Amino acid sequence: MTKSEFAISQPWRTDTAGPQRWIFSHVRRNWPIVLVIVAGAAGNAMLAAAIPIFTGRAFDAVTGADPDLSKLLLPCLLLVGSQMIRSSLQLGRNFGSEVLGQRLERDSRRELYGELLGKSMGFHDMNATGEVMARATNDVRELALMMAPGLNLVIGSGIFLIMPIIVAPRYHPSLVVVPVLFAIGYMISMWFYLRSLRPVTAAVRSSFGQMNARLTEAVEGIETVKGAAQEDREIAIFEHNAARVRDAIVSQARVEARFLPLLLLAVATGLAFGQALYLYGQGTITVGTLAAYIGLISLFDFPVFTSLFAYSQVASGLSSARRILELVRAQAVVDRNEAGYAEPMHGA
């Protein structure tokens, strides 16, 4: 229980034990939207897998022992129909994630503003205005971006990751080996990637807040700065802080440049194509199966591509949540003193 000079009531209770639990306590109140997002992501992945399946059937129809172009009609109709349904699911999923992100931004800002109003003047005197405003504006905005496009793409890419594992064995049992190995390698590399990304994203948010705080103080006290002839000193301080922000962003870019799933995808695609060609040469699978399998492997492109920026956005959002919680959990200098005297005053 944090101390505050004033009590600001909120229509909900949140768990401030950690950034993940705090975000979850906000998101769970919008569980119908979460269901829409998950259902849309699952439907999108399943219907994306339908493309190589129907394409493989079309290949078999025209390359079989008895080619019949009339057999192309059904796969084509199924392909068009499935993608029309998929587009509708994608629209609902993207709309839901955007609404969820905006609600998270709104509710977290309301909670933060309420906590700031409850703090004493001593608390605000000891905290730089620019730093507080950076957390109340820029960091809160990062929470919305963490949801859309961040977590929206993370959920979708996770389901895309398992579709080749589910569908590939229906063509030949051995074709599941490459998708499984890729999925394992992807998860391990992403674990190390996120572990490396956390400190650099925190450094970006922190350096930006410090730069914003110092600049706000200089602008608000510009008369004092000019009166003391400290313009050059303040310019040098701002350039130094801006350079720290730049260096932090460059450090984050260096971590993002060492993104191993891109290499794993290239290796997996080559191995899958080689295995499929070998089975085709042995007469175990058809041309249509080969085309369908390579199409299923291409589904890995989506999780790998989106992971380049989606996980960075999620890491940045979590860093922003930690900074916001520092203000929410901060103790006020003056308490309400609820145990104090609360009776009518009487004179002598």
Residue 35 has pLDDT above 70, yes or no: yes
pLDDT band (50, 70, 90) for residue 338? low
Of 88 and 120, more confident: 88
Residue 333 has pLDDT above 60, yes or no: no
Q: Give CA–CA dist 141/276, Å, rounded.
A: 47
**Residue 60 one-letter amino acid:** D
Dump pLDDT digits (tens) for 171-193: 999 999 999 999 999 999 989 98
User: Do you find a cis peptide bond into 169, omega within 30 degrees of 0?
Assistant: no
Q: From 147, 101, 144, 262, select the one nearest 193 (Cα to Cα).
A: 262
Residue ranges making up the domain that contains 28: 19-204+250-328
Residue 130 has pLDDT above 90, yes or no: no
Q: What is the pTM of this model?
A: 0.78
Domain tally, the chain: 1
Tokens 């290949």 identify what position? 59
Residue 1 has pLDDT above 50, yes or no: no
Query: CB atoms < 10 A from the CB of 106, how many?
Result: 14
Give mean pLDDT, residues 29-46: 93
What pLDDT is stored for residue 269 in this prediction?
94
Share above pLDDT 70 across residues of the chain, in percent, rounded to a whole number: 93
What pLDDT is stored for residue 298 in this prediction?
93
What pLDDT is stored for residue 223 in this prediction?
82
Specify the DSSP element, H or E, that contains 24.
helix 19-27
Residue 43 has pLDDT above 60, yes or no: yes
Residue 112 has pLDDT above 80, yes or no: yes
What pLDDT is stored for residue 73 in this prediction?
86
Is there a domain that residue 144 lies in? yes
Q: Give CA–CA dist 234/225, Å, rounded.
A: 8
Is there a domain that residue 28 lies in? yes
Average pLDDT, the chain: 87
What pLDDT is stored for residue 8 in this prediction?
65
DSSP 3-state percent helix, strand, coil across the chain (nearest 5): 80, 0, 20
Share above pLDDT 90 across residues of the chain, in percent, rounded to a whole number: 47
What pLDDT is stored for residue 348 in this prediction?
60
pLDDT band (50, 70, 90) for residue 168? very high
Q: Note whether 164 and 300 are within 8 A (CB).
A: yes
List of residues 6+ apart from 66 with CB closer than 8 A: none
What pLDDT is stored for residue 188 in this prediction?
94
pLDDT band (50, 70, 90) for residue 99? very high
What pLDDT is stored for residue 328 in this prediction?
84
List, as one string, the DSSP characters of 76-133.
HHHHHHHHHHHHHHHHHHHHHHHHHHHHHHHHHHHHHHHHHHHS-HHHHHTS-HHHHH
Is there a domain that residue 168 lies in? yes
pLDDT band (50, 70, 90) for residue 164? very high
Dump pLDDT digits (tens) for 58-86: 888 888 667 777 778 888 899 999 999 99
Give mean pLDDT, residues 292-309: 91
Is there a domain that residue 70 lies in? yes
Q: Give CA–CA dist 17/143, Å, rounded.
A: 17
What pLDDT is stored for residue 138 in this prediction?
86
What pLDDT is stored for residue 334 in this prediction?
57
Residue 207 has pLDDT above 70, yes or no: yes
What pLDDT is stored for residue 93 in this prediction?
93
229: left (phi over 0), alpha (psi -120 to 50) or beta: left
Indicate the range of 215-224, 241-250, 272-281 predicted with least confidence.
215-224
Question: What phi and psi, each to the nearest 5 degrees, are found at residue 329?
Answer: -90, -5
Is there a domain that residue 71 lies in? yes
Indicate the range of 90-99, 152-161, 305-314, 325-334 predicted with least confidence.
325-334
Q: Residue 283: which CATH number?
A: 1.20.1560.10
